[in-house]
């Protein structure tokens, strides 16, 4: 059974770097059948994609966050990580990792982690 | 701002049918995926592709598309369907992901 679990500090100071890791069990992040990504949700607001990566190594970031975001992959641990630099209070959100799948004409996120709240505050 | 536009709120009487819509240019070429999110929980995929339901999703949920508008229809809404619903697809600028702003469904 596929499981995704986010981990990392729940509190980050302004101007510092937010770092989260997603540990995947029940599937390999190296599989060509899926892609993987990060999505966040500020309190009381909607979903915002942060970035995704494909098994080929291609990575795509939300243009609004691109200058501050890095997604890295550790296939030996079946984990992928998110780093978001120079954070402000506007980056306070629940951060989700998710698996994306390929279907004819759509590429949905078919499995999600439970999410982790990250608060940016001094 | 989102390139997929959803009505912020929709209501439906218990047992009646409701349609939640999602508009965007990219939907002319890609199908929308739909997610249900209840308070304090992660989103759950309910519809993807032309009209496909993941295992465990009741058949009262269905999807359709016409032009640049995708629709999620709940036929015979139940109290447990009260939730936020988000659509998602590619965007018209070539980015692989975009989400709609979400629709809060109230079951009366």
Question: pLDDT tens digit string along A47-69?
Answer: 999 999 998 889 999 999 999 99
For residue B50, what are its two tokens?
């032309």
Nearest-Cα residue of chain A relative to residue B85: A46
Nearest-Cα residue of chain A relative to residue B33: A108
Q: How far apart are CA B99 and CA B89, in angstroms?
A: 7
Alpha helices in A1-122, H assignment, sequence order? none
Nearest-Cα residue of chain B relative to residue A66: B95
Contacts of A2 (CB under 8 A, 6+ apart): A24, A25, A26, A27, A99, A111
From the list A60, A103, A114, which residue is nearest B49 (CB)?
A103
Report pLDDT for B94.
81
Contact across the interface for A108 and B95, Cβ inside 8 Å: no
Question: pLDDT tens digit string along B60-96?
Answer: 999 999 999 999 999 999 999 999 999 999 988 888 9
CA neighbor of B6 nearest in space, from B19, B14, B16, B17: B19
C-alpha B53 chain-centroid distance: 12
Q: How far is B97 from chain A (nearest CA, A)?
A: 7
């Amino acid at each position: 059974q596929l499981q995704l679990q986010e981990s990392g500090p729940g509190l980050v100071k302004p101007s510092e770097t937010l770092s989260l890791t997603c540990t995947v069990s029940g599937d390999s992040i190296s599989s060509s059948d899926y892609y993987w990504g990060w999505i966040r949700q500020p309190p009381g607001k909607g979903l915002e994609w942060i970035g995704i990566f494909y098994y080929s190594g291609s990575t795509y970031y939300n243009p609004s966050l691109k200058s501050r975001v890095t997604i890295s992959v550790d296939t030996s641990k079946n984990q992928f990580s998110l780093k978001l630099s120079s954070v402000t209070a506007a980056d306070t959100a629940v951060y989700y990792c998710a698996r994306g799948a390929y279907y004819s004409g759509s590429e949905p996120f078919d499995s999600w982690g439970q999410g982790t709240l990250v608060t940016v505050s001094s | 701002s989102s390139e997929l536009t959803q009505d912020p709120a929709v209501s439906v009487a218990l047992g009646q049918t409701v349609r939640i819509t999602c508009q965007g240019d990219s939907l002319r070429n890609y199908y929308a995926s739909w997610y249900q999110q209840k308070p304090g929980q992660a989103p759950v995929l309910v519809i993807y592709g032309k009209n496909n339901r993941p295992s465990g999703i009741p058949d009262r949920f269905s999807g359709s598309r016409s032009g640049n508008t995708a629709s999620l229809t709940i036929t015979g809404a139940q109290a447990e369907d009260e939730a936020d619903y988000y659509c998602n697809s590619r965007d018209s600028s070539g980015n692989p992901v975009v989400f709609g702003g979400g629709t809060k469904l109230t079951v009366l």
